[in-house]
Structure 1
Amino acid sequence: MSSNDGIGSGVGSDADVAALAQLVADAERVTDAARAAQIHEVRVLAAAGRLAEQQAARDDERITAREMALRSIAAELAGVFVTTDRTLQRRIDEARDLVENYPVTMEAWEAGRITRGHVRVIQDTGCVVPAEVRGEFERVAIERCEGETPNRVRDALVHLAERLHPRSFSERHEAAAAGRCVRVQAGPDGMSDLIATLPTVIAEGVVDRLTRQAREIIDARPQADAAGADAGEAGEAGAGSAAAEADADADAPHGSSFSGDTRTIDQIRADVFADLLLAGAPALDPTADGDGNGALGAIRAKVQVVVSALTLTGEDDGPADLVGRSPIDAATARQLAGDNTAWDRLLTHPVTGTVLECDTYQPTAAMRRLLRARDRHCRFPGCRQPAIRCEIDHTHAASDGGPTHVCNLAHLCKRHHDVKHHTRWRVRQLAGGLLVWTSPTGRVYREDAPSALVAFAPAADGALPGPPPPPPPPF
């Protein structure tokens, strides 16, 4: 919990704030100039691609004419851009695709409604959208991009593009899942990469479990070090005992001695991964004792999935949302729901999709479930750290009388929790989980509670669901 009060003079004087305001104004001018230069560059590269096609049209060797013309022009421009002709050729293709296939996006970029980052996301996610509906995709995508950072809007655009694809996500996932495999790619110095191609929800669960087991091992280091020190003192009493222990350790897996363990979390994840596959249960478990298995074997992967009731009942095959990652197919979501007793039923706003209530109320635990479902990620402008890795913060500090209620709570990652507590950033929370942030220079940022990416109700007459209408201005 944090407070906005008690900011020390070292954070920044009024003169510092004035200097920062000038820097912000300069940054705005630089951003406008950079945008104009980027747009000009894209149009120049697109024109180079058209020139290559015109040159190829006058050549009788149709098979290689366009490729050779494009390579020649790319090589010419590569010297100006100080890069390789291969890179320039790829950028020419991307620029021409953008100019010719995304005209609405180009107009919005030129008008300053979106940034270069938004353009890349629209182009990347829109590649699966059929040409006949791409204009509608662009319109909705641009509206969703306005006021949001590119990384925050990517998941929504992926789902939007999926709904417009001629084949359902479930059909494509079924075909892709048939290619799941495990393969070894040899590397240098006696190392190899073990690569598993798996459904996304399985892969995320594997990484989550490995990460939490690795953290358990790191947290157990102080006790292991203390036990190792005690064993060392006892060993001085007899050399024969020490010799026997050394022989036993000679056959133990690499890194199995926890006393003085200095492995990084990546190294521990790799060791536990190999241990689980080879032994079936973690042998490197510092919490184990002689009476049975330790705590690591009981740890299970956790993923947060949002799925509509229509999908669960089989009335549609719309993809579910693996929060913070990517869509998952309907069949996997149904299986998760059938095997899991911890699913929460969410009541959402019929227009905005904002989560309003959970199906049960239990002090503290219910609030946490509701906040996790409502916020989805850190609520500082532009941050996308998943809520399950954030801290719950009192918007109005509890020490100053702020209530412990969902209307005064929101998720903040550690970085932005510290920013709120130790800088001149200010925040207030309005109805519906709306946060209004004010920067040290007085700039206001509106942070709406994100609507669910999953469509909880079917669209009328097959119409494409657009972004929710904005609520009335809070200030």
Structure 2
Amino acid sequence: MTTPAETPGSDAFLASLAEVVHGVEGVGRDLAAAQIAEIRWLAAAGALAERAASGSPARVREQDMLLRSVAAELAGVMGFADRTIQRRIDEARTIVDDYPTALEAWADGRIIRGHVMAIVDAGSILPPELRGAFADAAITRCERDIPSRVRGELEILAQHMHPRSFAERHEEAAAGRCVRVIPGRDGMSDLIATMPTALVEGAYDRLTRMARAVVDTRDQRAAAGLTFGLGDAQVADSAGAATAGEGESRAEAVSTDARTTDQVRADILADLLLAGTPALDDTRDTSAGPLGKIRARIQVVIPAHALAGDDHDACDLVGRSPIDAATARQLAAGNTQWERLVTHPVTGAVLAVDSYRVPEKMRRYLQARDQHCRFPGCRQAAVRCEVDHNVDHALGGKTHICNLCHLCQRHHSMKQFTCWRVRQLKGGVLEWTSPLGRIYREDAPTPAVAFTPAAASPTEAAPF
């Protein structure tokens, strides 16, 4: 319980917070040492089983039986199922044998367990003989950012190092696209679609923007007497508590809607699949209404050589995962709602930026520079973030790239209403200061693009 002296920002509160943070840091170091030791012992258990079976004529079967026996012995000590322990032994051997430098970097405190697992996951597509070189290149990036931020970049790096082209592997994977139903409980089930990443991300973005439009305009629509429904006869929240027939007040129907964004998103998906149009759309009976006009929007970085037809490397779906170059080219060429950004394959310098929506040049620049929310650890793509004045405009902060960055709604609000502070240094580097006075450096993302100064003519106006 907080004592009267421990009000936010007080010395007592900060002292208590500092004690908690120090304790967590110490436990983290001890836990890392224990996890590393466990991985080494589990890998030793797997190596023991392999060595013991090395002279057996039926080596593969004998090794498997020995490994099962060893895993069962360890399971009794560790309190897990023997199958779980055997999987952990296999994982430990992969880390120790294929990624020794990553394990050493973890032991030295340069990276954490999440980094190691991100390296292992991304490197799993590579032949064993390439994994060591991949780990060496990946560690440098991991030292500068948290695991969730580097995962996408490590995937791109692994794709680049793979001896087979990404396009070839994507074509094979796309053959497995499917839709599955997994029955759940209480009359619910999961509908799972396995499709190319760009399509999935675009679909999710459109559903999200539709849902937010519904949630954000409830008051206006209720005041205007507008309605929505599941079909022509009813309106329902997730529990089915609110229904509205033809004779019920439209304003009342809207005002009783208490669904969350997730619930609205699910309802819109059902409407689109079953009826072809969002039942939530106020003008669905006459033409494509406000929701129907919303189009998917994602952020893709396309290297110049990929745009020119090279299919070996993947393109970067910012904030998510790689996509194949053919899909990126198709999207860049055929959809006027996509913002296209072309980069040099070696220097990363921007070659061209265009958009049919004609966003402001400064926003395009910042989206390409920031890529995602610039609060430490956040991966929300820049296209779904807000542009923040590091020094508030009301306090004299200029609308200039050296005073602007992208923050998601959560971290934008936190900067406004808590004691977290930020200042921008040269090169787009952010320096965040916590309520305890701790400094967290937020480097500009490793550029999928890079910006180089151009010599402007004396008559050329400033770009922004």
TM-score by length of 2: 0.82
Distance 2:186 2:167 in 1: 42
Is the Cα–Cα contact under 8 Å of residues 319 and 454 in structure 1 kept in the other structure?
Answer: no
Q: 1:356 to 1:36 in 2, by over 3 A?
A: farther
1:182 match: 179
Is the Cα–Cα contact under 8 Å of residues 407 and 433 in structure 1 kept in the other structure?
Answer: yes
Q: 1:401 to 1:225 in 2, by over 3 A?
A: closer
1:238 match: none
Q: Does 1:269 align with 2:253?
A: no
Q: What secondary structure does 1:128 align onto? A: coil
**Of the candidates 128, 136, 155, which is equivalent to residue 133 of structure 2?**
136
Give % identity: 56
2:204 match: 207
Is the Cα–Cα contact under 8 Å of residues 305 and 321 in structure 1 kept in the other structure?
Answer: yes
Q: 1:421 to 1:308 in 2, by over 3 A?
A: same
1:460 match: none
Shift of 1:151: 0.6
Q: What secondary structure does 1:11 align onto? A: coil
2:97 match: 100
Q: Does 1:431 align with 2:415?
A: no
RCO (CA 8 Å, sep 6+): is it higher in 1 or 2?
1
1:281 match: 277
Is the deviation greater in 119-128 or in 220-229? 220-229
2:411 match: 416
1:383 match: 378
Q: What secondary structure does 2:124 align onto? A: helix
Number of aligned positions between the proteins: 428
Distance 1:78 1:414 in 2: 45
Deviations 1:182-237 (A, max 9, x none): 3444455555443322111011111111222222333344456567799xxxxxxx
- Match runs of 1:121-200 below 5 Å: 121-188=118-185, 191-200=188-197
Q: 1:445 to 1:266 in 2, by over 3 A?
A: closer
Is the deviation greater in 316-325 or in 85-94? 316-325
Q: Which consecutive unaligned segments of at least 5 residues does structure 1 have?
A: 1-8, 231-247, 457-475
Distance 1:51 1:315 in 2: 46
Shift of 1:449: 1.5
Shift of 1:384: 1.5
1:27 match: 24
Shift of 1:106: 1.6
Shift of 1:27: 3.3
- Match runs of 1:66-85 below 5 Å: 66-85=63-82
Q: 1:339 to 1:182 in 2, by over 3 A?
A: same
Distance 1:349 1:57 in 2: 48
Is the deviation greater in 320-329 or in 52-61? 52-61
Q: What secondary structure does 1:297 align onto? A: coil
Residue 273 of structure 1 aligns to which amino acid in structure 2?
L
Distance 2:350 2:433 in 1: 25
Residue 449 of structure 1 aligns to which amino acid in structure 2?
A
**Of the candidates 443, 446, 449, which is equivalent to residue 451 of structure 1?**
446
Determine which structure has the larger helix proportion and give its number.
1
Q: 1:347 to 1:155 in 2, by over 3 A?
A: closer
2:458 match: none
Is the Cα–Cα contact under 8 Å of residues 71 and 82 in structure 2 kept in the other structure?
Answer: yes
1:466 match: none
1:3 match: none
TM-score by length of 1: 0.80
Residue 275 of structure 1 aligns to which amino acid in structure 2?
D
Q: What secondary structure does 1:295 align onto? A: coil
Is the Cα–Cα contact under 8 Å of residues 55 and 66 in structure 1 kept in the other structure?
Answer: yes
Q: 1:229 to 1:429 in 2, by over 3 A?
A: closer
Q: 1:169 to 1:316 in 2, by over 3 A?
A: closer
Distance 1:363 1:53 in 2: 62
Q: Which consecutive unaligned segments of at least 5 residues does structure 2 have?
A: 1-5, 245-252, 452-464
Q: What secondary structure does 2:298 align onto? A: coil
**Of the candidates 402, 405, 427, which is equivalent to residue 400 of structure 2?**
405
Q: What secondary structure does 2:192 align onto? A: strand
Q: What secondary structure does 2:309 align onto? A: coil
Residue 274 of structure 1 aligns to which amino acid in structure 2?
A
Is the Cα–Cα contact under 8 Å of residues 115 and 146 in structure 2 kept in the other structure?
Answer: yes
- RMSD across aligned positions (CA): 3.4
Q: Does 1:394 align with 2:378?
A: no
Q: What secondary structure does 1:298 align onto? A: coil
- Match runs of 1:307-318 below 5 Å: 307-315=302-310, 317-318=312-313
Q: 1:33 to 1:193 in 2, by over 3 A?
A: closer
Q: What secondary structure does 1:266 align onto? A: helix
Deviations 1:232-291 (A, max 9, x none): xxxxxxxxxxxxxxxx73899x99845433444333333322322233222x13421664
Shift of 1:104: 1.2
